[in-house]
Structure 1
Amino acid sequence: MPTTLLLRNGVVIDTVPAPAVRANTDVLVEDGRIAAVGPALDAPAGAEVIDATGHIVMPGFVDTHRHTWQSGIRVVLPDSTLPAYLDRVLGQLAPRYRPDDVFAATLAGSLECLDSGITTLVDWSHINLTPAHTDANLAALRTSAIRAVYGHCHGGDGDLAAETRRVHREHFDTPAGTITMAVAALGPEIAGEDRALTEWRTARDLGLPVTVHMGGHGAQSAARGLAFLDRNGLMDHPTTYVHANFYTGEAFERIAASGGTVSVAPAIEAALNIGLAPTGRARAAGIPTALGADTVASGPGDMFGIMRAAYVLERGRPDGAGMGFTTADALRMATIEGAEVAGLADVTGSLTPGKQADLLVLRTDTLGVAAAHDPIAAVVLSADTRNVDTVLVGGRVVKRGGVLQGQDVPSLLASLTDAAGHIAA
């Protein structure tokens, strides 16, 4: 694999300080990092040159909330509700997963991300029924070569703190390359306050961030949950609030003051009737707010569809309250703001020299994108997975010419089909 790449003459979209377009621009990658961005850069000796003429070159997308293991039960529950999801998916189907099923589904879901331009993933994993399930999940993430934050949610019968420490010790005690760890917490709104105390205290002891479903279970539950964190001195811990639909403006101000972040899953929040996406309200409070697919059991898995859902739902708020939300805002949420929420803003999400080279090259010679007048709007409103030509993670080419590299996709699909048949039998 070459250590030096030059993406030549692209239509470059950077995201810092705000999304902006630079025509006829090169991106130089050395030793996995972005070395330079500018016109007519010199190609170092031995560099591989990728002709990006007329194509869009931009940072990879960041998905800040996905239950990746659920690719084995894709659209098993369309046209449904959150209570039905909790009963069918978590109550009935999840217990049927074997470790091999977790591996196949997580690998397939991770490759789905890469194939569609998502280079960074917060994998909210609550399929950890045994240590073997956990180890299979992590093996799949590493096999895929995606950049990921593995959100560990203990799901077995053993001691939560002890198992979380085992995972951290065995898999993350030394630098883990493209995979880092977070605690994916079920409490306090879903699994109670006692569990939440254990989750946050374990996260604090290990120096790990928390990602938690909070704020999406009604106004009273949202208020109680935030009061619990405040009362126990936990709000200052790095926390991402997923489905923050029912927080008030005052609650968002408290989250902003504490350094918290928000992950919105606009398609799922609408489809399962969780609540109105809090996109604009959270961002107005100054909270880094990003996007997630959540579950392909009931919704789309590509960032193009998710950005469009966020854009339409926000601009469709009553009384025109969201009409100030732009396509540039949606793109920022899918890139650098996503990196902020994932705790990786110094690693990915923009084309800043020194960052990891997590990059996309999008074709513009398709009927859906050709002759687009605004490249940023074209990415958000017009492009789809067919436009994803080339994907880099840390300078490694994982997709080229529209084809995933280094993966036996037919064999994986056979394993996924076997897993799906077993799970849903």
Structure 2
Amino acid sequence: MPKGRILIRNGHVIDTEPQPVVHARTDVLIERGRIVAVGRNLRSDGAMVIDATDRIVLPGFVDTHRHMWHSALRSAAVDVDLDAYFRLLGQVGPKFRPQDVHIATLAGALECLDAGITTQLDFAHIAYSPELADAAVDALKAAGLRAVFGYGTPVNVTGGGKLADVCRIRERLADDNALVTMAYAPLGPLSTPMETVAKDWRIADELDLPLTIHLASTPVNERPVFALRDAGLIREKTLYVHGNGVGDDELKLIADSGATASATPGDEAGRLRRAGITTGTGVDTVAFAPGDMFSTMRAAHLAGQIAEDPRMTAKDVLRMATLDGAAAMGLADRTGSLRPGKQADVIMLRLDDLNMLTAERDPIAAVVTAAQPHNVDTVLVAGKVVKFAGRLVHADLRRTARALRATAAAISAR
């Protein structure tokens, strides 16, 4: 469906800025891909009207960390430890051909849209060759979601990123205001020596790219944030992922630098937020986790109920999955809330499905604790309707499914 003047009428509208709040029987007016008004009884002159009665209307979800190429590896790493998981990636990654990366990334992106994820950071540590990197970028563009392509170093490649190819992709994605933009996603101090880390940081600085890196205490660097500090590599435009085993004093360094974090979600979400770090959430990988934000939000909410004070509320979790995620990715000026002037990344959830009946008493809690992907009725990205009445309108899902199954079988046979 093309962009145009759209009026979403009479919904339970959740805005997330500054904090999540519900406005009953409220309209959202969209023009030229942007939200222009939110209120009651807005005029619909010449607009396509979408009836939002019995619908929750909210910003599209923001997935701050996912390896999209893993769509061809769904549930392949369940009940294994981290070492076995990395061995699996090192074994199967080199078997991927450009067409495999393209269909896996496309399928993952369509899965995002189908489940209400309108913005996603693809940590694409599959860039064994320029052709593989191009295949991932092409798929993100074809899918129609808002995406940040994180040019990633494969887990079994030493020496850091390939400068010439990172520069080439940067030229392809030179417009930082486009729907698909770029970040640099090297291995970082998780598993590489600091001289390689410093080289990768220089690449990001020279190309004016945000960084995103996995962060945890490992035998290579038991105190990775201190190692970055000592090397003069703490920088603001960095999205740290996970944070497992990282000390509170290291988290303070991150907070003081203005850098951000992605919890996926684990019990680290509460620690990151309490340290004052802007924290989003993400799926990480469908190799061992569900691919939707509802499951991720529930896991974060449950983890936030167990221990430390203050407990994480449903409002906290929803904000992580929307506005804070956008801020963590440097995109809060264009998405993450329903404020006029922002691009219209909007989703609608059905309240008349069995699992959502009576949820209008607390739509925010329902989104976090009750909703499922099948409740996603309508999805807009930058004002373009990509899902309507429960169906993606711009994708041949049967063809995509056949291609993804063929890719998975071919990789297994190689």
Q: Is structure 2 residue 276 aligned with structure 1 residue 289?
A: no
1:414 has 2:402 as partner: yes
Residue from 402, 405, 413 that aligns with 2:390? 402
Tell me the CA shift for residue 80 of structure 1.
1.6
User: Aligned residue for 1:313?
Assistant: 303
Mapped to 2, the partners of 1:263 and 1:406 lie a distance apart of 30
Q: Contact (CA 8 Å) 1:2, 1:47: kept in 2 or not?
A: no
Residue 323 of structure 1: CA displacement? 5.4
Segments of 5+ residues of structure 1 without an aligned counterpart are: 270-276
TM-score by length of 2: 0.95
Give 1:134's aligned residue: 133
Written as runs of structure 1 = structure 2, the 5 A alignment for 1:146-161 is 146-155=145-154, 160-161=162-163
Residue number in structure 1 paired with 2:94: 95
Tell me how far apart the structure 2 counterparts of residues 237 and 374 of structure 1 sit (CA, whole Å).
37
Per the TM alignment, residue 54 of structure 1 is displaced from its structure 2 partner at its CA by 2.0
The Cα shift of 1:230 comes to 1.0
Match of 2:29 in 1: 28
Q: What runs of 5+ residues in structure 2 fail to find an aligned partner?
A: none
Q: Distance in 2 between matches of 1:196 and 1:188?
A: 6
- What is the root-mean-square deviation of aligned Cα atoms in Å? 1.6
CA contact (8 A) 1:154 1:164 kept: no
The number of aligned residues is: 408
Counterpart for residue 192 of structure 2: 191
1:157 to 1:103, Cα distance in 2 relative to 1, 3 A? farther
Cα offset, 1:330, TM superposition: 0.6
Q: Name the counterpart of 1:69.
A: 69
Deviation string 1:356-379 (CA, Å, 9 cap, x unpaired) is 000001000011111122100000
Residue 215 (structure 1) shift = 2.1
Tell me the secondary structure at the aligned position of residue 299 of structure 1. Answer: coil
CA drift at 1:314: 1.9
Match of 2:114 in 1: 115
- Offset, 1:241: 1.0
Q: Which residue is 1:384 aligned to?
A: 372
Give the Cα separation in 1 of the matches to 2:81 and 2:279.
24
Q: Take 1:210 and 1:73, find their aligned partners in 2: how far apart are those partners?
A: 26
Decide whether the 8 Å contact of 1:216 with 1:243 is kept in 2.
no
* Structure 2 counterpart of 1:243: 242
> How far is the alpha carbon of 1:175 from its aligned partner?
5.3
CA drift of 1:134 comes to 0.6
Cα distance in 1 between the residues matched to 2:153 and 2:15: 38
In the alignment, is the contact (CA less than 8 A) between 2:297 and 2:318 conserved in 1?
yes
Mapped to 2, the partners of 1:217 and 1:378 lie a distance apart of 38
* Structure-2 change in CA distance of 1:183 and 1:2 (3 Å): closer
Deviation beyond 3 Å, 4+ runs, structure 1: 154-159
CA drift at 1:52: 0.2
Separation in 2, partners of 1:390, 1:298? 28
In 2, distance between residues paired with 1:187 and 1:174?
25
Deviation at 1:176, TM superposition (A): 6.4
2:344 maps to amino acid: A
- Helix, strand or coil for the counterpart of 1:188? helix
Inter-CA distance 216–355: structure 2 relative to 1 (3 Å threshold):
farther
2: CA distance between counterparts of 1:65 and 1:53?
33
SS in 2 for 1:214: strand
Partner SS, residue 327 of structure 2? helix
Task: Give the Cα separation in 2 of the matches to 1:2 and 1:212.
Answer: 35
| Structure 2 counterpart SS, 1:12 | strand
1:300 Cα deviation after fit: 0.7
Question: Deviation digits for residues 141-181 of structure 1, max 9, x if unmatched?
Answer: 00000100110013479962222111112x12345620110
Q: Could you tell me whether the CA contact under 8 Å between 1:2 and 1:48 is conserved in 2?
A: no
Stretch moving more, 347-356 or 277-286: 277-286
User: 2: CA distance between counterparts of 1:253 and 1:323?
Assistant: 18
Equivalent position SS for 1:221: coil
Work out the CA distance in 2 between the residues paired with 1:400 and 1:323: 39
From 304, 322, 334, the counterpart of 1:335 = 322
CA contact (8 A) 1:214 1:222 kept: no
Establish whether residue 57 from structure 1 lines up as the match of residue 44 from structure 2: no
Q: Distance in 2 between matches of 1:140 and 1:250?
A: 40
Partner letter of residue 282 of structure 1? L
Tell me what 1:363 maps to: 350
Residue in structure 2 matched with residue 351 of structure 1 by the alignment: 338
Q: How does 1:80-91 map to 2 (within 5 A)?
A: 80-88=80-88, 90-91=89-90
Structure-2 separation of matches of 1:142 and 1:173: 14
